[in-house]
Amino acid sequence: MTLFTPEEALAYHRNGKRGKLEVFPVKPCATQKDLSMAYSPGVAEACRAIAADPDTVFDYTGRGNLVAVVSNGSAVLGLGNIGPLAGKPVMEGKGVLFKIFADIDVYDINLNCTSPQAIIETVKAMEPTFGGINLEDIKAPECFEIEKTLKQELDIPVFHDDQHGTAIISGAGLLNTLELTGKRIENLRVVISGAGAAGIACAQFYVTLGVDPANILMFDSRGLIHPQRTSGMNPYKEQFANGTPDMDLTAAMQGADLFLGLSQKDLLSQDMVAAMADKPVIFAMANPDPEIPYPSAKAVRPDCIMGTGRSDFPNQVNNVSGFPSIFRGALDVRATSINEEMKVAAARALAELAKEPVPEAMLEAYGVDKLEFGPDYIIPKPLDPRVLLWEAPAVARAAMDSGVARQPVDLEPYTQNLQRRLDQSRARITDIVESYAAK
């Protein structure tokens, strides 16, 4: 089900204003007085106030609502190491999603750096500009060291979306599949294709949710990660070394309950899917093309629960349903980090929302008659505005409960205000987009 042609996608990016984002002023600057306050000499008052009390930077500048989407283009979607220039459309796209789904402003920062040290130093130097750092499409294993060091050294949230956004959303899906299949999480036999940023982080998060690490078989480009293997290994892969050297993907898939694809397209065959346990779960999440196409998996296993990273099939399991709302909650309580408690809270909130009745507007947006909790609807649709209203307060609450919030909020008025804020922001975006379309 292709919704557009390649030419249409290129025209979407090229036509009208180039790219997908614009920076707009939010204060008047029409008169001599406005100008003298926006810039010299009035701006000096704000400078002096911040110099005297650095915390007031959150009052006098946009820092508290500004996130850097930082990438070096080394693992862009499933396209691989295409570099920072070719990765920029994705990073602008992440900026669009932050704004539309959570009213967060973004600068996309596309770095011509490969070494972890260079990326770490650059991001550290940028810290005063931003309220949060979203690392994106930086390949493993470098991404692990980069994120760990930045988390230790910065006191604003640092979040590698491909790791944790993916883990949280697929974790929410996993929790709901347990309910639908009646299986117990500790008994699940899990096969993971991909031992990079997303594969490793998902495995770790699933273990936090209750999966037995001994029941995970993980594959990378060289085959199974097993205890005797020495080549192409790293400490992150070693945590999940299981099975025997002779085991290939076909053997691993025999009787598996869950397949998680975070690798490359077309790695999973219909025969492998056919050999899975009853009511199997297949999250084939490589983008833009999954490890097996949705129709191919359903054709051999109509009893499967299938999710992909794409929006054109049921169950879009994609970090888009996470990073905007998670940062919203974290920024609003001025959290110093995004910790495990906040991630689990986000996953559980998303899982619970899938069981609520779906508003008519969502049915219209997706052109369907019905969306109801079940095998074809295990997580909310990314376009559903309730995702923000459920996830962000859950994250804010978890930040407050776990002691990383510097500015606690009262959750009831906070949640009501979120709805208003989202409506106003979307109305402004509609006006801007329409103004360009009219030109």
Ligand X SMILES: NC(=O)C1=CN([C@@H]2O[C@H](COP(=O)(O)OP(=O)(O)OC[C@H]3O[C@@H](n4cnc5c(N)ncnc54)[C@H](OP(=O)(O)O)[C@@H]3O)[C@@H](O)[C@H]2O)C=CC1
Question: CA-CA distance, 277 to 179, in Å (whole number)?
Answer: 16
Q: Which of residues 27-86 bind ligand CC(=O)C(=O)O (CB under 6 A)?
A: 77
Nearer of residues 193 and 318 to ligand CC(=O)C(=O)O, judged by Cβ: 318
Choice among 12, 17, 33, 39 that is catalytic: 39
Is 39 one of the catalytic residues?
A: yes
Q: Is 204 in the site for ligand X (CB under 6 A)?
A: no
Nearer of residues 77 and 82 to ligand CC(=O)C(=O)O, judged by Cβ: 77
Q: Is the Cα torsion angle 178, 183, 184, 188 positive or negative in sign?
A: negative
Q: Is 132 in the site for ligand CC(=O)C(=O)O (CB under 6 A)?
A: no
Nearer of residues 65 and 204 to ligand X, judged by Cβ: 204
Among residues 411, 384, 397, the alpha carbon closest in space to that of 100 is found at 384
Q: Which of residues 162-181 bind ligand CC(=O)C(=O)O (CB under 6 A)?
A: 162
Nearer of residues 69 and 333 to ligand X, judged by Cβ: 69
Q: Is 264 in the site for ligand CC(=O)C(=O)O (CB under 6 A)?
A: no
Residue 136, annotated as binding a ligand: yes
Nearer of residues 319 and 337 to ligand CC(=O)C(=O)O, judged by Cβ: 319
Residue 137, annotated as binding a ligand: yes
Scanning 97-105, 130-138, 239-247, 372-380 for contacts with Mg ion by CB under 5 A, the matching segment is 130-138
Q: Is 220 in the site for ligand X (CB under 6 A)?
A: yes
Q: Is 287 in the site for ligand X (CB under 6 A)?
A: yes
248-277 footprint of ligand X as x/- string (CB under 6 A): --------------xxx--x----------
Q: Is 295 in the site for ligand X (CB under 6 A)?
A: no
Question: Parallel, antiparallel, or unpaired for β 66-71 and 105-110?
Answer: parallel
Q: Is 309 in the site for ligand CC(=O)C(=O)O (CB under 6 A)?
A: yes
316-345 footprint of ligand X as x/- string (CB under 6 A): -xxx--------------------------
Q: Is 314 in the site for ligand CC(=O)C(=O)O (CB under 6 A)?
A: no
Residue nearest to ligand X (CB): 196
Is 88 one of the catalytic residues?
A: no
Which one of 13, 33, 222, 406 is in contact with ligand X (CB under 6 A)?
222
Which one of 56, 112, 117, 221 is in contact with ligand X (CB under 6 A)?
221
Q: Is 162 in the site for Mg ion (CB under 5 A)?
A: yes
Which one of 57, 67, 156, 285 is in contact with ligand X (CB under 6 A)?
285
The residues assigned a catalytic role are: 39, 94
Binding-site positions for a divalent metal cation read 136-137, 162
Binding-site ranges for Mg ion (CB under 5 A) = 137, 162
